[in-house]
Amino acid sequence: MEYLILFGVFTALMLIGTPIAFCLGISSLATVGYLGLPPLVVFQRLSAGISVFTLMAIPFFIFAGDLMVRGGIAARIVRFAGSLIGHVRGGLGQVNIAASTLFGGISGSAVAEAAAVGGIMIPQMKERGYGADYAVNVTSMAALIALLLPPSHNMIIYSISGGGRISIADLFTAGIIPGLLLAVALSITAYVVARKRGYPTEPFPGFANVLRFLIQSLPGMLLIAIIFGGVRSGVFTATESSCIAVIYALLVTMLVYRSMSWSDFVHATQQAVRTTAMVLLIIGMAGAFGWLMAYLHVAQISLNWMQSVSDNPFVILLMINIVLLVLGTFMDMSPLIIITTPIFLPVVAAFGVDPVHFGVIMILNLGIGLNTPPLGPVQFVAAAVARISIWEAMRSVWPFYAAGLIVLLLVTYVPALSLWLPGVFK
């Protein structure tokens, strides 16, 4: 009965549109009440869930991303990417993906990337004859690259959900090759679709302009090297790197580019505070929910059930991928990481799967869920920028979904794609 209450109340509240943080909190309170435990337990676990020093990296990375968007760093990166590959068939689609790859190593957020790059690229693509659905699908799928590249704050959440024993530096490093592989797969897909629809190419601006745009965007892109190099080398922690990211973003936008006004700074601060409050409330509530799952031995029950189905690691990983893809259509990424990591990580560990490898699988899988209605926040952001309905974009998104799923299968069943680079740096 306690399992039915925990998961049943949560599912029922989610289906009627209750915010996810309250779904987690109310279902936890209901289960604690049935078990005869004091309700204070839920609030203690909520407080413990957000009282983790490493979590301080999340608000600072969010703030740094907002500063970079409003300070013009994203616009300069898009300009450089356009000069570099805009002459390829369906050039603006390729520019969109390249810009997302470069900016993803700065923002670490798929929603921020869809808003920043999409806000620049989607109007231009529509103006030059590209279909609005094509522009939305390229933008929303390319935004997922940010989830795999450092400084992905979802990887920080995964590390904490795994008990804090999984190296954030290894996770940052492990996501690089899968992220670049996703960018290549999406570029090929965008090219094929653009060629089929007869979309135009952009004129090559010349090597002199490419060099000029590179120099203009270089101060912003250097942040990628600072964050990754500092964390990987041990010069500073992920939390310290997030603070450095904010300071560096302020210096670049205010002193180098001189594009950050006081109004922009205030708006960036307000947006970062709102986003941080939402994320931390979800993390806290999910902490209480996760504690109850541990108390009820959900992970061990899941392991026993999966072992009864198969003892083949390939089958187990396929089953977990399917479950995560389904869950990702209904829940946001952060709470899903916190809820499912304590369940599935012991399961895959029992079958010899490296926790860093599984982290990359989970991040990519749940990232695809961010583009899948009825939730699909990244898809909704891109569709809102393009001013079309989500269903209009969904009709032609399938080639891009297929590219994402192919990369997910490769990352799942070829561990070297995730583990080779961390091994090199070690």
Say what the pLDDT of residue 374 is. 63
Q: Which of 30, 113, 100 is nearest to 66 (CA)?
A: 113
Say what the pLDDT of residue 184 is. 93
Letter for the amino acid at 150? P
Q: Which of 137, 153, 136, 145 is nearest to 175 (CA)?
A: 145
Measured between alpha carbons, how far is 156 from 239 in angstroms, rounded to an integer? 10
| Planar angle of CA 19, 141, 390, nearest 5 degrees | 55
Sequence-separated (6 or more) residues with CB below 8 Å from residue 281: 21
Q: Tell the residue number behind the tokens 């921020």, with chain if given.
A: 112
Tokens found for residue 156: 């920080």
Q: What is the pLDDT along the chain (426 residues), one digit of tens a residue?
A: 787 888 788 878 877 877 777 888 888 888 888 888 888 888 887 887 777 776 777 788 778 877 877 787 777 887 888 787 777 777 778 888 888 887 776 666 777 777 777 777 888 788 778 888 898 899 889 888 988 988 788 888 898 888 777 888 889 899 999 999 999 999 999 989 988 888 877 777 788 888 888 888 888 778 777 777 777 777 877 778 888 888 888 888 888 888 888 888 888 888 888 878 877 787 788 778 777 877 777 767 777 777 777 778 888 899 899 888 888 877 778 888 888 888 888 888 888 889 999 999 999 999 898 887 766 778 877 888 788 887 888 888 899 999 999 999 999 999 999 999 988 887
**Burial class for 58, CB neighbours closer than 10 Å (0-12, 13-18, 19+):** buried
- Annotate 130-193 with DSSP letters as a single string: --HHHHHHHHHHHTTHHHHSSS-HHHHHHHHHTTS-S-HHHHHHHTHHHHHHHHHHHHHHHHHH
Tokens found for residue 36: 């005869």
How many helices (DSSP H) and strands (DSSP E) are in the chain?
23, 0
Q: Tell the residue number behind the tokens 């990702």, with chain if given.
A: 328
Say what the pLDDT of residue 408 is. 95
Tokens found for residue 419: 């583990």
pTM given for the model = 0.81
Tokens found for residue 81: 């990417």
Say what the pLDDT of residue 107 is. 63
Say what the pLDDT of residue 355 is. 93
Say what the pLDDT of residue 108 is. 66
Q: Is the dihedral of CA 394, 398, 403, 408 positive or negative?
A: positive
| Planar angle of CA 19, 22, 27, nearest 5 degrees | 125
User: Running DSSP on this structure, what letter comes out for residue 316?
Assistant: H
Measured between alpha carbons, how far is 10 from 298 in angstroms, rounded to an integer? 15
Say what the pLDDT of residue 106 is. 66
